[in-house]
Amino acid sequence: MKKWVLCLMILVLLGFGVTKFKASMARTPQDETQPLEINEPYNADSSAAGAEEGLTIDVTKEMVYQGDLLLVNKDHPVPKGLHPDSEAVSLIRNAELIDGFGVLDNKVLLSPQMAERFTAMVKAAGKEGINHFLISSGYRDEQKQDELYRQMGSKLALPAGYSEHNLGLSLDIGSSQAEMNSAPEGQWLKKNAWKYGFILRYPDDKTAITGIQFEPWHFRYVGLPHSAIIQENGFVLEQYMDYLKEQQSVSLKVQGQKYHVFYYPVSKDRTLQVPVQGQYEISGNNMDGVIVTVRE
């Protein structure tokens, strides 16, 4: 009798262990509870060999005002040297760029690269049955932005040159079914847009920081891993720029990929010694430095 009870207890414990193992194997880097692993700051001294084998990158002062991470708001206008209008095209007049979403009219302008990024995101949503996306605005030139500002006023629009739409990295995304705040499309983007490099730029709890009212339709491209860090911490772009300057470096893993992010102040042409190797991208912050993102 005692043997039978002992065997039963062993079987129960084994079954519990297998269940826990299966549950742990089922988790993915995209789980809601822990979408990424962040380790901060990066300790260059922890690997002398890694520091010796790092990257040497020459940067110029002009690079502070180039890239996907430029902060554009009422205090930081779109840099004068940029020409996003040279890449923006009418989506309706370039129908091959429209795939899985609708477009409000032929005035919606977007670069082919941004259209491709958006398409990848809406196709992922479509696999979950969310498929009524509508782009109402993309790139706007300063003339169009000025008209909008005059019509809507300072509480609802930014003056020409101070809007992210003048930068060419933002989209106003709607749903053909309902308002974005309640539409399935809006809810899906709020939860998943970060996985494709997009962020909700003006959330309802950050109006004191952004100076802009809640806009559930306005999404900005910043790219991975930046969108993941912003999502995980509940940042807006202003807070993320401050966070990088404070931390100087952040190491993290997103969807199985290891990244290192470094902030460097730049007031003149200089050479950066980045303590890790890998594929890298550089973006200015439109203020006082550059952000180097290294993917191992």
Last residue in a domain, options 185, 203, 221: 221
The reported pLDDT for the residue numbered 153 is 83
pLDDT digits (tens, 9 = 90+) for 74-109: 999 999 989 999 999 999 999 999 999 999 999 999
Q: Are residues 181 and 251 in the same domain?
A: no
Question: pLDDT at position 21, please?
Answer: 29
Residues 210 and 271 in one domain: no
- pLDDT tens-place string over residues 113-169: 999 999 999 999 999 999 999 999 999 999 999 999 999 888 778 899 999 999 999
Q: Name the residue with higher pLDDT: 41 or 68.
A: 68
Token pair recorded at residue 123? 């196709």
Tell whether the torsion through CA atoms of 173, 178, 184 and 190 is positive or negative. positive
Regarding whether 204 and 88 lie in a shared domain, the answer is yes
Residue 39's pLDDT band (cuts 50, 70, 90): low
CATH of the domain at 235: 3.30.200.180
Q: What are phi and psi of 232, to 5 degrees?
A: -65, -35
Residues 210 and 124 in one domain: yes
Strands 215-221 and 170-175: antiparallel
Indicate whether 265 pLDDT > 60.
Answer: yes
The reply to whether 290 falls in a domain is yes
Alpha carbon distances (Å) from 45 to 41, 244, 275, 280: 12, 19, 9, 21
Q: What is the per-residue pLDDT across 206-239, written as a single tens digit (0 to 9) for each?
A: 999 999 999 999 999 999 999 999 999 999 999 9
Show the domain range for 267.
Answer: 33-69+227-296
| CATH number, position 203 | 3.30.1380.10
10 part of a folded domain: no
Domain identity same for 107 and 169: yes
* 216 plus 81 within the same structural domain: yes
Residues 64 and 192 in one domain: no
Please indicate, yes or no, if residue 26 is contained in any of the structural domains.
no
Q: Let me know whether 296 and 183 are in one domain.
A: no
Residue 24: inside a domain: no
215 inside domain = yes
Q: What are phi and psi of 6, to 5 degrees?
A: -65, -45
Same domain, 207 and 132: yes
Could you tell me if residue 94 is inside a domain? yes
Averaged pLDDT score across all residues of the chain: 87
Global pTM?
A: 0.85
pLDDT per residue over 41-60, tens digit each? 655 444 434 445 899 999 99
Closest to 219 (Cα-Cα) out of 170, 253, 265, 182: 170
- Whether 170 shows a pLDDT value over 50: the answer reads yes
Give the domain-ending residue among 181, 203, 221: 221
Does residue 198 lie within any of the structural domains?
yes
Strands 36-39 and 257-265: unpaired
Tell me how many domains the chain contains.
Answer: 2
Q: Is residue 3 part of a domain?
A: no
Please write the tens of the pLDDT for every residue from 12-33. 333 433 333 233 323 333 444 3
Look-up of token digits 């940029």:
82
119 contacts 99 by C-beta, under 8 angstroms: yes
Domain edge (last residue) among 160, 194, 221: 221
- 136 lies in the same domain as 186: yes
- Residue 83 sits in the same domain as residue 216: yes
Residues with active-site annotation: 215
168 and 57 inside one domain = no
Alpha-carbon span 109 to 216, nearest angstrom:
20
